[in-house]
C-alpha cells in the first residue's frame, strides 16, 4: 500500500474517511498480528503510514530515524518512507495538545492523571508536562516504576484536576464501561478521552453529567491526521483546515435521534431529514416488529409491555452503538429507560419533536395512545422526560418538511 494505518484491530477506525477527505490519495487500513509487524516494516512497501494500538512503541526498533520529539516521548504513530529510510514521528502529541487547547482548559500548575500505560499515555504525559502541569501521573492496573495503580490514584491523587484516558476501555465494539470512577476524584475539573468511537464514551458522559468539561477523542484524531498528512505529502494545510475537517467528520458520523409522543411525526420527519442529508433512516418500532415477527399491538397483547420494552432496549442499543450519521425515529416510550438514553447519547444528537397533544391523532396501532384521554395522560407523564433527554427541542408549528429543515439546520450548525 502507499498510505494507510497499521494496528491489531481497526474495525473502529475513522482514519480512512479523514485522510481521503483531506488529500488526493488512497488510504488503507491494514490489520497486522503481532508476529507480522517486523516483516511488514522490513519490506518497506509503503510511502507513509500511521500506527495505532498496540504498536506505537514496538515500531521504534525498526526505524532508521526518529524525530527528536517522538524519541523523547517514547512512541511513534507516523512513519514516512523516504527513499527506503524509515523515519518516525508523533503527531498524536500535536493532536492531543490541540484538543486540550481548543477546550480552553489550562493545565498549568495542576495534577493530571493519565489512564493507561501504552504509547498514547507517554504522549499524554509529555503534553501535560509541556502545558505546565505540576504533576502528570500514569495509572495502570499493575504498579510499575513508571505507573501507579488505580487504588493509588483514588487514595493519593484523588485531588487530580484533569483526567486523560488513553486506554481502549469503552472503545467500539465494547462500548460499555469506564476505565475509572470519576466519582472518587473529588476535585476533577476536566477530562479528555483518546477514544473517538463512540463519539462520547461512558467516561465522557459521566463527566458531562457532573458538569465538567469533557471531550472525546475525535478532534484529537482529526488533528493528528492533518499533521500526519502534511508529513505524508510534504505540504502544509491552511490553519482553518483542522476545524473544518473536524466539523465535517463529526457531521458525517454523529447520529440524529428523534424523540417525542406517539403520532407526533417522528417517522415522517425522519424520512425527509434522512433524504435531505443523504443518510440512512431507521424506525425503532419497525425494527422491533421485524425482530418479533408481529405488530407492536400484538406484542403487547401476547406478552405485555415489559416484554416489548426489553425488545425496544435491545433494538435501541444495537442501532445506537456506532456513529454512522443515521437518522433514528424512536418509539414514543423509548427514552423512558435511562439506559436507552445513555446508549443514544454516546453517538447521537437527540431532538424532541414537541407537537401539541391536541394536534396528535390517536390510532389503534399504538397500545398506550389509543384515544384522546390516553394521549393526554402519556403527554403529562413524558413531556419533562423528553425535555431532559433532548439536546434540542423542536416545537411543531408547521408541516413535517419545515420541522425536518429546522432539525437539519440545527444539526449542521452544532456539528
The full 3-state SS of the chain, as one line of letters, equals CCEEEEECCCCCCCHHHHHHHHCCCCEEEEECCHHHHHHHHHHCCCCEEEECCCCCCHHHHHCCEECHHHHHHCCCCEEEEECCEEEEECHHHHHHHHHHHHHCCCCCCCEEEEECCCHHHHHHHHHHHHCCCCEEEEECCCCECCEECHHHHHHHCCCCCEEEECCCCCCCCCCCCCCCCHHHCCCCCEEEECCCCCCCCHHHHHHHHCCCEEECCHHHHHHHHHHHHHHHHCCCCCCCHHHHHHHHHHHHHCEEEEECCCCCCHHHHHHHHHHHHCCCEEEHHHHHHHHHCCCHHHHHHHHCHHHHHHHHHHHHHHHHCCCCCCEEECCCCHHHCHHHHHHHHCCEEEEEEECCHHHCCCCCCCCCCCCHHHHHHHHHHHHHHHHHHCCEEEECCCCHHHHHHHHHHHHHHHC
Q: In what order do the strands lie in the sheet with 3-7?
A: 27-31, 3-7, 48-51, 78-82, 85-89, 65-66
Q: At what angle do helices 400-414 and 266-277 cross, to 10 degrees?
A: 50
125 grid coordinates:
504525559
Active-site residues, by number, are 56
CA atoms in the 13 A half-sphere facing the CB of 203 = 32
Q: How far apart are the first and last CA of the chain?
A: 33
Residue pointed to by grid coordinates 453529567: 209
Integer-rounded Cα Rg, in Å, for the chain is: 24
Residue 277: phi and psi, rounded to 5, are: -95, -10
Amino acid at each position: 500500500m502507499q498510505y494507510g494505518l497499521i494496528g491489531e484491530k481497526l474495525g473502529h477506525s475513522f482514519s480512512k474517511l479523514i485522510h481521503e477527505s483531506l488529500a488526493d490519495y488512497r488510504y488503507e487500513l491494514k490489520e497486522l498480528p503481532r508476529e507480522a509487524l517486523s516483516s511488514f516494516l522490513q519490506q518497506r512497501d509503503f510511502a507513509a503510514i500511521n500506527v495505532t494500538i498496540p504498536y506505537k512503541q514496538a515500531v521504534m526498533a525498526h526505524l532508521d530515524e526518529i524525530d527528536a520529539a517522538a524519541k523523547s516521548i517514547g512512541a511513534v504513530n507516523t512513519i514516512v518512507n523516504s527513499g527506503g529510510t524509515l523515519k518516525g514521528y508523533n503527531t498524536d502529541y500535536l493532536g492531543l495538545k490541540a484538543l486540550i487547547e481548543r477546550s480552553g482548559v489550562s493545565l498549568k500548575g495542576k495534577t493530571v492523571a493519565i489512564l493507561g500505560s501504552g504509547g498514547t499515555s507517554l504522549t499524554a504525559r509529555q503534553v501535560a508536562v509541556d502545558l505546565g502541569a505540576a504533576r502528570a501521573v500514569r495509572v495502570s492496573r499493575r504498579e510499575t516504576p513508571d505507573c501507579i495503580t488505580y487504588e493509588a490514584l483514588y487514595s493519593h491523587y484523588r485531588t487530580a484536576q484533569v483526567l486523560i484516558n488513553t486506554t481502549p476501555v469503552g472503545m467500539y465494539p465494547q462500548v460499555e464501561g469506564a476505565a475509572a470512577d470519576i466519582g472518587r476524584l473529588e476535585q476533577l475539573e476536566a477530562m479528555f478521552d483518546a477514544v473517538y468511537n463512540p463519539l462520547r464514551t461512558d467516561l465522557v458522559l459521566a463527566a458531562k453529567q457532573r458538569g465538567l468539561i469533557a471531550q472525546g477523542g475525535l478532534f484529537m484524531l482529526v488533528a493528528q491526521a492533518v499533521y500526519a498528512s502534511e508529513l505524508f505529502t510534504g505540504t502544509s494545510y491552511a490553519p482553518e483546515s483542522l476545524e473544518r475537517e473536524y466539523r465535517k467528520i463529526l457531521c458525517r458520523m454523529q447520529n440524529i435521534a428523534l424523540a417525542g409522543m406517539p403520532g407526533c411525526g417522528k417517522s415522517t420527519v425522519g424520512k425527509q431529514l434522512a433524504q435531505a442529508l443523504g443518510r440512512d433512516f431507521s424506525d425503532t418500532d419497525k425494527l422491533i416488529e421485524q425482530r418479533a415477527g408481529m405488530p407492536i399491538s400484538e406484542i403487547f397483547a401476547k406478552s405485555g409491555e415489559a416484554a416489548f420494552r426489553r425488545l425496544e432496549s435491545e433494538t435501541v442499543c444495537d442501532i445506537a452503538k456506532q456513529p454512522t450519521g443515521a437518522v433514528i425515529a424512536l418509539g414514543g416510550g423509548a427514552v423512558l429507560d435511562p439506559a436507552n438514553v445513555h446508549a443514544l447519547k454516546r453517538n447521537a444528537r437527540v431532538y424532541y419533536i414537541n407537537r401539541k397533544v391536541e394536534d396528535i391523532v390517536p390510532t389503534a396501532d399504538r397500545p398506550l395512545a389509543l384515544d384522546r384521554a390516553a394521549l393526554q395522560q402519556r403527554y403529562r407523564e413524558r413531556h419533562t422526560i423528553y425535555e431532559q433527554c433532548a439536546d434540542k427541542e423542536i416545537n411543531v408549528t408547521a408541516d413535517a418538511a419545515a420541522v425536518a429543515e429546522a432539525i437539519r439546520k440545527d444539526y449542521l450548525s452544532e456539528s
